[in-house]
Amino acid sequence: MTAEKFEFKTEVNQLLNLVIHSLYSHREIFLRELISNASDALDKLRFAALQNKDLLGEDTVLRIKLFRDAQAGTLTISDNGIGMTKAELINNLGTIARSGTKEFVEQLRKAQDGPELIGQFGVGFYSAFMVADKVTVNSRTADGEANSWTSAGQGSFELGAAAKSARGTDIILCLKKAAREYLDEYTLRQLVKKYSDYVDYPILLDVEREEMPKDPEGKPLEKAKPEKKISEEKLNSQKALWTKNKNEITSEEYNDFYKHISHNHANPLEIIHYAAEGASEFKALLFIPERAPFDLFSKDHSLGLNLYIKRVFIMHDCQKLIPEYLRFLKGVVDSSDLPLNVSREILQEDAQLEKIKKNIVKKILGALKTMQDKDPEKYLKFYKEFGAALKEGLHYDYENKEALADLLLFTTSTTEAGKYRSLAEYVKKMPKEQKEIYYLCCETPAQGAASPHLGALKAQNYEVLFLTDVIDEFVIPALYEYKGRKLQAIDKAGFKLGDEKAAAEKIKAAQKNLGGVLNALKSTLTTRVQDVRFSARMTDSPCCLTADDNAMSAQMQKMLKAMGQETPEQKKTLELNPDHPLIQKLNALSAEKIQSYGSLLYNQAVLADGGKLDNPQEFTKQLNELLVKTLEV
């Protein structure tokens, strides 16, 4: 039968040039595309055979095989799938030919960044022309029709009869000289491992090995020379754990898989394996590492999960599958219907993708809550490693803010060293008259426990959360409240506690009786503080510094300065405890002497606040002078 020639329209060269040079970032993608097409053909046959077993005939072992011919410079991708009729060859491989209009070219250009689907175009096959000067497709259907499609991608293709006796499709690539590397065994192995390792069917390759001749008992013959033998080897593992039932997978298999995808030698802390059903169907195998990587908070840290579609690898670190605060997760997501752009390399902005993301977040937060309730020690181990990252969600993930709040842990003014308390436990322990949840930003629990701000709260048996992560100052205000109880920083100027009327009367009396101290300190500290005033918040300390409600803490300022960022000058208010003996003793001194002690009083308040002294030498000198006077007395 003479081959028929079909002419492409005039725009085809422009269109093929776009497909070959613009849609794909790496030409090695061609092998993934052709293996994926072969896998689809096998899927179609397997499905059709459910109703008609005769379609399989004697060739029941479905497979994909790669053939290399170094002398001819050809690479063949062969399958024993459903095969294609003449009409299907035209429809499936001639889509570009039939649609080669200016409108189509323009539509394809837009599709590189737009919402068009690869299935709408069928251009994956044409990636073969990135590496081949000529492509021949020989295909035979299950009922015996065999046809051949050939094109050099230069304006036409030919259709004719094929001398093919076995069911399936052979795609023969006459490789360009610059692409002969794809005849190399190692290169093919690496590409199959990277992109198609979990394809459901075996991907086979004939390899040549040298073997020593053996006697009938299997022992190597002495003085014999090695002989070259060709054997068929499978290139892909087919071990897509996420597709198996959890009951069929051993702990060792899970751990080995985790180490493979994470390049981590330790076992994971937690394994989350599930299949989502309903409006958003996908399979996920997720792992929580045991230790946080050193670059968890670096901008260079990889974010995302490995994405597969129908077991075919699409991309590493798919950032659109999880929010940034869950960047510690490792694992894979496999969807059967997630849309890609025309090159199959870039995910579209799609509602389906957002559904998968929401499902994953809900599943992870649920798993963490279960761990927290049923295995507190294990959860604490997780929280110490990843709690700071988890807190970021309070700021960015409003929808899950309550679920995230339930997962937070804190050291407090009443917990033992190394012990933590959740917000739910804090609220349960609150005295009936306590209306708010109190917290203090500090560098360490020890520093928080020594803070002068705790005085009045301790007196009323109120517990205070110690926020020791730098990120706390960003995220806790975003939480604002928990179970209807407002979160209140105790080191802010607007903080009020207990009987406000009694406190106001106490301050009024102090202003009357100790006004000289107040005025003297105001005059000497006018350049260093915003104000000096009496306060009822302290019990054991003579003074403390308070910031405006929206001001940064000393810890935040130090962090920003360490990052090389300038911070605006923030003057604080020096609050005095009128009941403290030191303040009362000062009242007996002259204004001049009170002023001489003003700097010393201010500097000790700075230290108690976790700040850094502007002039430590001055403070040391003043302290030494005071000690000398005391010893002289």
Where a domain ends, among 347, 373, 399?
A: 373
Among 116-125, 401-410, 449-458, the range with the most confident prediction by mean pLDDT is 401-410
Residue 612 lies in a domain: yes
Residue 360 lies in a domain: yes
Where a domain ends, among 489, 511, 532?
A: 489
Where a domain ends, among 489, 520, 554?
A: 489
Residues 413 and 559 in one domain: no
38-73 residue pLDDT tens: 988 898 898 888 888 888 888 889 999 999 999 999
Residues 44 and 178 in one domain: yes
Evaluate if pTM is beyond 0.85.
no
Better-predicted residue by pLDDT, 159 or 109 = 159
Residues 179 and 58 in one domain: yes
* Structure tokens that stand for 151 in this block: 């094109």
Residue 378 lies in a domain: no
Residue 402 lies in a domain: no
With 70 as the cut, is the pLDDT of residue 458 above it?
Answer: yes
- For 374, residues 6+ apart whose C-beta sits below 8 A from its C-beta are none
Host domain of residue 555: 500-632
With 80 as the cut, is the pLDDT of residue 179 above it?
Answer: yes
Distances (CA, A) of 33 to 67, 126, 128, 239: 17, 9, 8, 20
Least confident of 41-55, 108-122, 519-533, 607-621: 108-122
pLDDT of 408 reads: 96
Judged on CB neighbours under 10 Å (0-12, 13-18, 19+), 62 is buried
* Alpha carbons 633 and 627: distance in angstroms, whole number: 10
The pairs formed by 393-402 with CB atoms below 8 angstroms and a separation of 24 or more are 393/323, 393/325, 393/326, 394/475, 394/476, 394/478, 394/479, 395/474, 395/475, 395/478, 396/323, 396/324, 396/325, 397/323, 397/325, 397/361, 399/358, 400/361, 400/362, 400/365, 401/478, 401/479
Is beta strand 543-546 parallel, antiparallel or unpaired with respect to 481-482? Answer: unpaired
Residues 334 and 261 in one domain: yes
Residues 31 and 159 in one domain: yes
Angle of CA points 190, 196, 201, to nearest 5°? 125
* Alpha carbons 588 and 234: distance in angstroms, whole number: 94
> Any idea what the CATH number is for the domain that residue 174 is in?
3.30.565.10
> Any idea what the CATH number is for the domain that residue 435 is in?
3.40.50.11260
* Alpha carbons 444 and 439: distance in angstroms, whole number: 13
Residues 144 and 51 in one domain: yes
> Any idea what the CATH number is for the domain that residue 314 is in?
3.30.230.80
Number of domains in the chain: 4
Better-predicted residue by pLDDT, 567 or 134 = 134
Residues 463 and 545 in one domain: no
Angle of CA points 334, 78, 141, to nearest 5°? 100
Residue 553 lies in a domain: yes
Judged on CB neighbours under 10 Å (0-12, 13-18, 19+), 568 is exposed
Residues 89 and 127 in one domain: yes
With 60 as the cut, is the pLDDT of residue 154 above it?
Answer: yes
* Alpha carbons 396 and 402: distance in angstroms, whole number: 13
Residue 455 lies in a domain: yes
Residues 356 and 262 in one domain: yes
Residue 381 lies in a domain: no
Better-predicted residue by pLDDT, 569 or 627 = 627
Residue 380 lies in a domain: no
Average pLDDT over the chain, rounded to an integer:
85
294-334 residue pLDDT tens: 878 777 777 778 888 888 777 778 888 999 999 999 999 99
Angle of CA points 396, 397, 401, to nearest 5°? 120
Residues 521 and 469 in one domain: no
Residues 185 and 113 in one domain: yes
With 70 as the cut, is the pLDDT of residue 504 above it?
Answer: yes
Residues 442 and 325 in one domain: no
